[in-house]
Structures are given as C-alpha cells and as structure tokens.
Structure 1
Amino acid sequence: MTLLNYLQWDKLQHFESMPQSVVARIEETHNTHELPVHTHPKGQLILALHGYVTCEVEGKMWMVPTHSAIWIPPHIPHSNRAFNHANLCHIFIQPSELRMPDHACTLAISPLIKELMCHFATLDQHYSVLSATHRMAQVLLDLLSVMPPQPFDLPLSAHPTVTKLAEQLFSNPCERKTLAQWAAQLAMTERTLARLIKKETGMTFGKWRNQLHMIIAVQKLTGKMSVQRVSEYLGYHSVSAFITMFKGVLGQSPKRYMTEQHE
C-alpha cells in the first residue's frame, strides 16, 4: 500500500470507529489512487460528486458516475479506485441501522438527497442521539432506503482469456471487432469464445460489451460530453446506433436519462 493509500485508509478507519449511527465525510482526490481489497464493519455508501470511482465487489466491477452512489454492505471484500480530481462523499452506516440492500449495488441519488448528504458531512460527526444531527441522520437513512438501483455493474472473470479481452475493451472502448475477429485474435473458435464469455460473465459477448459501453457512456455524459462525441468515442457508426444501444440497456434515450438525473 502506498503512503497516499495508507493515509486514505487511516482516515476511513477513524470514521469507522465512531459509534454514531451514520457518519459522513467529503474526500477530494488530487491524484488517482486505489485502496486494495479490504472490508468495513459498517455499510459504506460512496457518492461521486465530481468525477468517478470504480469498485470491484463480488466478482463485478462497478463504475460509479457523478450523481450516483455505490452501496457496499458490511464485511463485503472490495477495492476502490478514485480517479484524478474526483470529489467523493462517503457515508458509513452502523449495521444495526441498516435499511439498505443486503448486496452491493449502484443507487440513483436525487439532487435533494445529494444536498442532504453533503450538508450532513459538514456537521460535527460526534453527535448525540438527542441532537438535531441524529434526527437528520434518521431522515437520511429513510430517504436512502428507497433510492432505486441502477445497472452499473460489469461482471468480471478470473479466466485469463476473458480478462485479456476485458482489458483490451477497457483500454480501447471504440474497438468494434466482431466476436469472430476476437476469437481469431485469441486463437480459438468463435463458438468456444462465446461459450466461455457466457460461462464466466452470465452474458453474451454483445450484451457484455453493451453493458461496458453503457457504463462508459453515462460517465462521459455526466462529464458534459455530447451524445455525438460519446457515440464517436465508443466507435459507433452513427448516433442513432448508439442511442439504440443505450435505450436497449437503460430503457430510455441518453437525453431523457440525463434530464431525469437532474429533475
């Protein structure tokens, strides 16, 4: 663990040792940093206020864009990577106070709840159960418990062939090779590669790549990149093809999705 990672971990441990039902802190990252696999005795919610963070949890990678949050239940092994100039809000919740899902997931966070989380993080976290801050914490828990989940997880695999394919798709998301072309590059038949991806990820190659593209697209759109530019970035031959993919995964157009995130 690097010195930077150690300092970040030390700060998180301080908040975890506090007895309050909910504690929060704002973290601004000036450089990309990663915390290796670890667990927390409390539930952890990570909200991306600016930029984004990725987490590996339970065999999946979660790419959390701005205005969304990843929920990690207590004692679940995970690793986090915050990217350069990300601004994050961490919420830690005592197990006895949990009203959240019992599995890792990404949650949509409304503007109201985002403001409440950020305001809560500015308050004195050493509050008593008779304080107004404690009452605010209970309101926050009630609101978070009904936030809808979002499909921002990408199944990972420890299989070297699928890992190699995933790495290439991550590093060059505009790559449009067909499954047959990938199979030839990886020295196997198309049928063998198709079966392997399905076995390791639970998805067909097309759905798996679309899921990755959707996650990256939401990141770029929340970063103010235009639909046209996102389409080009992901290698689509037309904007309409990109919109069709996006609607197929999220059920609505990129424009409508982004509008709803700010309502």
Structure 2
Amino acid sequence: MKTNQATQVFDPDTTPYPAVARHLDFIDYEAEVPVHTHRKGQLIIALYGAVICRAENDIWIVPPHSAVWIPGGVPHSAKATWNAHLNYLFIEPGAAALPDKCCTLAISALIKELVDRLTREEVDYSPDSHVARLTRVTLDELATMPQQKLSLPVSANPKIRVMAETLVSHPDDRSTLKEWAKRLALSERSLARLMLRETGLTFGRWRQQLHLIIGLRELACGVSVQNVAAILGYESVNAFITMFKKTMGSTPAHYFSEQQQAAR
C-alpha cells in the first residue's frame, strides 16, 4: 500500500528562483493529492497517464501531452491515474505572462523537452547560469501556448455540487434533467436556469463535457474505447466516438496517435 504523499516530496516555496521543475511517477505515491496551496503557480504536465485537478469550483483534466496551469495561492487537489508520469513546473508569481485563472494549455514538444530537462537540474541555480537561461526561455515560450477547453465547471451551489459529485462517481447515470430536478426538489425549469447560471452550460452540454473528461482519463489509462463507452453509459461505441470526434475534432484513436506523434 502506497503511503507517500506527492506534496511531501518538495516544497516549491522554499526557493526564490523564477521557476523550478520536478518529475513524479505516481506508481510510487498516493493517487489522491489533498487540497493544498503554495505561493508559486504550478504547471502540471502529463507525460503518461492522466490527472484530474479540482480548483476554483472547476474540474480540470490533464491528458497526456497537455498541461493544467494553477496560479499561485489557489487551493487545489488532484487525483492521478495509477500509471501517471507527471512533470511539475513551479513558477514564481509575476515571472511569466500566464493567465490569472486556472486553465488547460496545449503544450508544444519544445515546452515538454525544456521542462523535462529542468527536472534534472538542481533547484539552487545561479542567476547567470545555463539553467537560468533555459528557465527564461521556457517561461517565455510557455506564455505563447494556447488554452484548451478541458475543464468542467461545477459551482459552489450545493444542488449543482450534489449532482456533479454523483455523476463523477457514476458517469453511466443517464437520468434526464426532469429526473434530476425531482431528486433535487426543484422544477425542471428552475434546475435548467440554475445550471446555466452557475456553470454557463446547459445540462446536456455539461454532461457531455463530463463524459469527455472521464473518457480522456480512462483512455489515457489504456482502457479500450468499447469499455469507456460502457463506463459512460453509451448505448453503442459509435455514439461515444461521435461525441468525442465532435468535441475534440478526431476519433479517440486518432487523438492519442496525434498526441504521441507530437511528443516524438
């Protein structure tokens, strides 16, 4: 049984440098990382497997070869797949022109290689050293990376949170909006308005985004498309593939193939 916590490995706030990087294989650590915060912002890059982060009333998915950015001072937690290999880049506030809100970023092969290189360097480096110059290039390049829509807004509203927690645990639950309204002691119209106000999405679009996030996580673990479709309660594999392609622009097989080719 694994008892090591990822947060105990390294405290990024003990270093005053613009950025420091660390590598973590979750085969050695507890999958659940409890809520915590630090002064430095955190970029989480998934090299293999996947991780789901919770911050600012949103759920964020980090599939292979993507990253989530969490600004400094934002409380967050995470749950990694058993096979997750992650690179962390901790960034001092103001050291890079990055968003002031959590987001997922498309990460170039150059960024992945630069951060991976920095994970093998000491955290105490001279301001005029080669590592310092690599760090500066990394931060400048990182600021140009485009954002991706791989988050699920949850809201702090207790009724929306109850529904979200249930569907995250049981994504095959195909209850309609009307059935959920009855469970939550609301009218169907009231729940529809609440959902749109609190998350910015209709119930159908919100659940589709949830399925996308969970589907990406399971596919990153090596689960077959057929089994992922069953986990999400789809009546057929083709229905899941159609949803995935409509949202991500390609089928699951092509998506992960393109990600692997980009990494190489």
Normalised by the shorter chain, which TM-score bucket? 0.7 to 0.9
In the alignment, residue 202 of structure 1 is paired with which amino acid? G
CA contact 2:68–2:102 (8 Å) conserved in 1: yes
Instruction: Determine the C-alpha separation between the residues in 1 that align with 2:243 and 2:30.
Output: 33
Same amino acid, percent of matched pairs: 45
Structure 2 residue 23 is matched with structure 1 residue 26? yes
Alpha-carbon shift at residue 45 of structure 1 (Å) = 0.7
Structure 2 residue 30 is matched with structure 1 residue 42? no
Instruction: Determine the C-alpha separation between the residues in 1 that align with 2:4 and 2:65.
Output: 25
CA contact 1:31–1:83 (8 Å) conserved in 2: no
Alpha-carbon shift at residue 95 of structure 1 (Å) = 2.5
Structure 2 residue 152 is matched with structure 1 residue 154? yes
SS where residue 173 of structure 2 aligns? coil
Instruction: Determine the C-alpha separation between the residues in 2 that align with 1:99 and 1:158.
Output: 29
CA contact 2:155–2:161 (8 Å) conserved in 1: yes
Where structure 2 has 5 or more consecutive residues not aligned to the other structure, the ranges are none
- Per-residue CA shift, 1:197-247, capped at 9, x if unaligned? 222211110010001011111112222333333222211112232122223
Q: 1:63 aligns with which of 61, 64, 68?
A: 61
Q: TM-score, normalised by structure 1?
A: 0.87
| Misfit runs of 4+, over 6 Å | none
Alpha-carbon shift at residue 155 of structure 1 (Å) = 0.8
Structure 2 residue 140 is matched with structure 1 residue 142? yes
In the alignment, residue 31 of structure 2 is paired with which amino acid? T
- Per-residue CA shift, 1:51-105, capped at 9, x if unaligned? 3323222221112223221111223333334454533211112224212222211
Give 1:5-20 correspondences, 5 Å limit: 5=5, 8-13=6-11, 15-20=12-17
Alpha-carbon shift at residue 32 of structure 1 (Å) = 2.3
How many matched pairs? Answer: 257
In the alignment, residue 258 of structure 1 is paired with which amino acid? F
SS where residue 194 of structure 1 aligns? helix
Instruction: Determine the C-alpha separation between the residues in 1 that align with 2:145 and 2:258.
Output: 14
CA contact 2:20–2:123 (8 Å) conserved in 1: yes
Match of 1:203 in 2: 201
CA contact 2:48–2:220 (8 Å) conserved in 1: no
- Per-residue CA shift, 1:130-164, capped at 9, x if unaligned? 22111211222233222221111111122222222
Match of 1:223 in 2: 221
Instruction: Determine the C-alpha separation between the residues in 2 that align with 1:243 and 1:19.
Output: 47
- Per-residue CA shift, 1:5-62, capped at 9, x if unaligned? 5xx445442x322122221111233322323242x22221111233332322222111
Instruction: Determine the C-alpha separation between the residues in 1 that align with 2:94 and 2:180.
Output: 49
Instruction: Determine the C-alpha separation between the residues in 2 that align with 1:227 and 1:33.
Output: 25
C-alpha RMSD of the superposition: 2.3
CA contact 2:4–2:30 (8 Å) conserved in 1: no
Instruction: Determine the C-alpha separation between the residues in 2 that align with 1:213 and 1:257.
Output: 16
Instruction: Determine the C-alpha separation between the residues in 1 that align with 2:13 and 2:254.
Output: 38
Match of 1:104 in 2: 102
